[in-house]
Structures are given as structure tokens and as C-alpha cells.
Homo-oligomer: A and B are copies of this chain.
Amino acid sequence: MVDLDRLFNPLSVAVVGASNDVRKTGHRYITNLAKGSYSGELYPVNPGESEILGLTSYQRVTDIPGDVDLAIVTVPARIVPKVISDCSRKGVRFAVVHTAGFAELGVEGAGLQEQMIEQAQSGGTRIIGPNCMGIYSTQAGINTVAPVPATQEDAGTVAFVGQSGWATENVLGIGYERGLRFGKVVSIGNQSDLTVEDLLEYFGNDDNTSVIGIYIEGMKRGREFLRIAREVSRKKAVVVWKAGRSEYGVRAAMSHTGSIAGDSIAADAALMQSGVVLARDLEHLIDLMVGFTSPVLPAGNRLGLLVEAGGGSVAGSDSAAALGFDLCTLSTETQQELIGILSGVIPPFAPPRNPVDIVWGPSVNRSSFFLRCSRVIVKEVDALLVVNYREYDDEFAVGLAKLRDEVNKTILIVPGHSFENRKGMELMTRHGVPSFTIPERALGTLQSMLRLSRYRSDY
């Protein structure tokens, strides 16, 4: 296993291509590090500048006085091999090469990429990229990927590897809004040296990682990926969106990250047999990562549905049927218990067989009302989906999380109006009560959670 500790927590960082010119990406990277949460040593490198943001600018990496754990490289492609040669000579542990214009551009670029790798190997510098957006680490306060905070307060246990800057920045941005809190994120680009397999293995062994998301166009070491995934899936969810599936997609992937994609149907089967959870698209990928932040996976397919929205009840029921959930009729005792809680509090409603559609909740003490109903229903099912209005507040989130821990069953939640409730959805997910925009997305995710749960028991 490649030890990546210093990649995610470097004591010293050199920005090669740092600049005083605000139009250059090298300006953005050095500014983010100098003015952000990163507190280690910081060295700008640019032969044309003597000082950048008050820091001495070095001509070359080899001129830097102290050790360098990580070099962030953003210089023209043709200069990259020389910079990496310097990194090797200097003993730099990791270089993140943002620059594009390598294998993704065809034969000539591939040659340049080869040259760069030769230089890296000469001194043992390990490469992320080229043609990538870099890394995000809350531990180190480093973020070259997306407009999302990367401080200790925002730290979480979700990790992500994306072979696309677009996918990576969207997973970070949309995911953060949805309540995902990341620890370590990498945009790996062309995978010229370190590959998704290295990252998966490292995250699999990282105590601060609980959920691993992956966007990949082409695997360099497919068999190894499956071997690692098989082990990691036993304790952590590995969610994979494999793109470049079609003839068109393969063509696009080739010019994007120089990836060669294989047979998708065979790959899907092999991935699923290794416990990997498959995503169809960006939003599905994020839904799945949200779902797996739940500390509990369902043990079976009995589903309880507590709704305050008739249409949501029908949609949830249709979806439950389509996905093979058992919307089991609650026992007479449980129905009576629910009627006891509900009668006098809300207008007349249909028998609470399951789904339990309470039509319209009471106007006071709503959180405790829904918690009481949830507590009764959850006894007889493996997982509970709640679709209700408003009050996605601390009381409700903490209450549902406590109930989940007491009964050790999965609880998911969908607000009546997602467009009014983004903050509340985020809050719920952060408490391990994964929240979704519509019942279908919640139950599709629950189905994947059940599959992983079964993979683990069958193992």
C-alpha cells in the first residue's frame, strides 16, 4: 500500500507556477494556501518573481531550503518534466500536476507524460495527475477543487476520488449542500502514476474514512481494484460511477483523461460481486454517498412508510413495490397504538396499516408527534422512510438519530418540499438520517444499502 499520509497532511507545500498575476491559476492556489486554513510551510516557485504574497519566491524547487512534502504544479505542459525532475532531486514526496496537455491529447502528449513519469521515478516522487484539479483535505486545510470550506470544523469521514474535475467539484459542492462532510478528496486526472486503486486501498485503511465515492473513466489495474474493493466493502461502502460506458463515452473519455474503457456489462457484474455499489450518474452517486453516511444498514426488506403527503405516500408505495421492498401490513396492536397517538390530534385518516398516511400533522409539537409515530412503526420493519413537512430542526434530527441507534434500524427522510428545505435536509444527513428530494431517490438508495448489507452477511 502506498502511504499517502503526507499527501493529505503535508508539513510543507511548494506551489510551482505560483504567480502575482491574478489571472493565473498559480495565483489562486498560492492565495488559497497562504490566506486559508493551511498552516504548514509554504514555498512559491517562479523564476520570474522574487516575492509572492510576502513570501520569498524560489527560482526552482531545488532552491527551496527546507524539505517539501507536496508540490502543486501548474506550469505549461512542456516544462512539467523539468519541474518533476527538480522535485525528484529535491526529494519531494508528492507532486500534484494540474497542467493539462498530456496523454489526453494523443501520441505527442503521451510522450510528454512518459518523460514526466521517468523523471518522477528517478527520485521517488509520486504523481497525482496530470490534467487534474488536485486535492481537498480538511486535515491540512488544503482545497484546490471546489468552493467549499476545508477546515477542521467542516471535516467529515467521506472520501472521494474522481477522474474528472467536473465530477469531483460537483460531488464536493452538491454533496456539501446535501450534508456530506468530506475528509479527503482527490481529482486524479490521467492517473499517470498514482491510480484509483492506490487511493481506494489507502482510504480503505484510513480510520478517518467511512464512505468512499469514486468517479472513474478507465481503470489501470482492474483486477487489483476488484481485490481491494472486495476487502474494503466489508467495512466501508465503496460507491462507484464508472463512466465511458458506450462507444461515444469511450471516445470522450479518451480525449478527456486518455482512458481506455473496457466492457461495461462484464465490469458492472465484477464490481457488484466485489461489493461495490454502482451509481448511474452524478446525482445518483451523491444520493448513494448520502445514504451510506447512515451508521446503520437495513438487515432486511421490510419497509415502513410514515407520510404526511398523500401523493408522497403513493409515490413511495409504487417505488417500494418496484424495488422489491415489503411494505408489510402492521400488526393490529401496532395499528391500535398508532390510532391511540393520532386520534383527537389530527383529522380522521385511513387505517394506519402501512403506509401510515396521517394526511396532515398537528400544528404543535410536531417533532415529538412524528418521533412517537416513528418509534411505533419502526418496531415491525427493517427501515423507515418519513415524508413530512417542515421542522427539520435539531430536535427532530437528534430525535430520529437517537431512535435509529436505539433500534439499530435505518431511518431515511424526505421533506414535503425539498425546494424550501435544503438546510433541513443537510442537517438530517449530518445526523446520519439521510435525506433525499423525492421518495424514489430515497428508496433507490435504500435498495443499494440493503444489497451491501447482504453482501456483508453472505461474505
A contact set with B: CB distance below 8 Å:
23, 100-101, 104-106, 147, 162-167, 169-170, 173-174, 177, 215, 217, 243-249, 251-253, 255-257, 280-283, 309-322, 327, 347-351, 353, 355, 357, 359-360, 363, 416-420, 437-438, 440-441
B281 x A313 contact (CB < 8 A) = no
A252 x B215 contact (CB < 8 A) = no
Residues from chain B with Cβ under 8 Å of A420 in the complex = 147, 173
Q: Would you give the shortest CB distance from A361 to chain B, in whole angstroms?
A: 13
Task: Give 16 pairs: A residue, B residue, CB < 8 Å, sorted on A.
Answer: A100-B359, A104-B350, A105-B350, A164-B309, A165-B309, A166-B309, A166-B416, A173-B419, A173-B420, A217-B314, A248-B320, A249-B314, A249-B315, A252-B310, A256-B313, A282-B440
Residues from chain B with Cβ under 8 Å of A317 in the complex = 246, 248-249, 251-252
Q: Would you give the shortest CB distance from A33 to chain B, in whole angstroms?
A: 21
Query: Besides the contacts A217-B314, A255-B351, what 9 more A-B pairs have beta carbons closer than 8 Å?
Result: A100-B347, A166-B309, A243-B314, A243-B315, A244-B318, A246-B320, A252-B317, A255-B350, A282-B438
Known contacts A347-B101, A350-B255, A359-B100; A167 and B311 CB within 8 A of each other: yes
A310 x B23 contact (CB < 8 A) = no
Q: Would you give the shortest CB distance from A73 to chain B, in whole angstroms?
A: 15
A418 x B174 contact (CB < 8 A) = yes
A177 x B252 contact (CB < 8 A) = no
A256 x B419 contact (CB < 8 A) = no
Residues from chain B with Cβ under 8 Å of A437 in the complex = 283
A166 x B101 contact (CB < 8 A) = no
**In the bound complex, CA of A131 to CA of B370 (Å):** 22
**In the bound complex, CA of A440 to CA of B100 (Å):** 26
**In the bound complex, CA of A166 to CA of B355 (Å):** 16
Count this chain's copies in the assembly: 2
Q: Would you give the shortest CB distance from A321 to chain B, in whole angstroms?
A: 3
B256 x A417 contact (CB < 8 A) = no
Interchain CB contact (< 8 A) of A177 among B106, B280, B419, B440: B419
Q: Which residue of B lies closest to A312 (CB)?
A: B166
A252 x B355 contact (CB < 8 A) = yes
**In the bound complex, CA of A327 to CA of B363 (Å):** 54
B100 x A253 contact (CB < 8 A) = no
Interchain CB contact (< 8 A) of A310 among B256, B312, B355, B416: B256
Interchain CB contact (< 8 A) of A417 among B173, B245, B351: B173
Q: Which residue of B lies closest to A311 (CB)?
A: B164
Known contacts A173-B419, A438-B283; A255 and B357 CB within 8 A of each other: yes
Q: Which residue of B lies closest to A438 (CB)?
A: B282
Residues from chain B with Cβ under 8 Å of A104 in the complex = 310, 350
Residues from chain B with Cβ under 8 Å of A164 in the complex = 309-311, 314
**In the bound complex, CA of A281 to CA of B319 (Å):** 9
Q: Which has the most chain B C-beta neighbours within 10 Å: A173, A281, A315, A316?
A: A315
Q: Which residue of B lies closest to A389 (CB)?
A: B166
Known contacts A315-B281, A318-B243; A256 and B166 CB within 8 A of each other: no
B249 x A311 contact (CB < 8 A) = no
Residues from chain B with Cβ under 8 Å of A310 in the complex = 104, 164-166, 252, 255-257
Residues from chain B with Cβ under 8 Å of A217 in the complex = 311, 314
B252 x A314 contact (CB < 8 A) = yes
A23 x B363 contact (CB < 8 A) = yes
**In the bound complex, CA of A438 to CA of B241 (Å):** 14
**In the bound complex, CA of A317 to CA of B420 (Å):** 33
B348 x A105 contact (CB < 8 A) = yes
A314 x B244 contact (CB < 8 A) = yes
Q: Would you give the shortest CB distance from A144 to chain B, in whole angstroms?
A: 15
B252 x A282 contact (CB < 8 A) = no
Interchain CB contact (< 8 A) of A321 among B163, B246, B253: B246
**In the bound complex, CA of A164 to CA of B439 (Å):** 15
Q: Which residue of B lies closest to A261 (CB)?
A: B314
Q: Which residue of B lies closest to A255 (CB)?
A: B350
Residues from chain B with Cβ under 8 Å of A106 in the complex = 350
Interchain CB contact (< 8 A) of A248 among B215, B282, B318, B441: B318
Residues from chain B with Cβ under 8 Å of A311 in the complex = 162-167, 215, 217, 243, 256
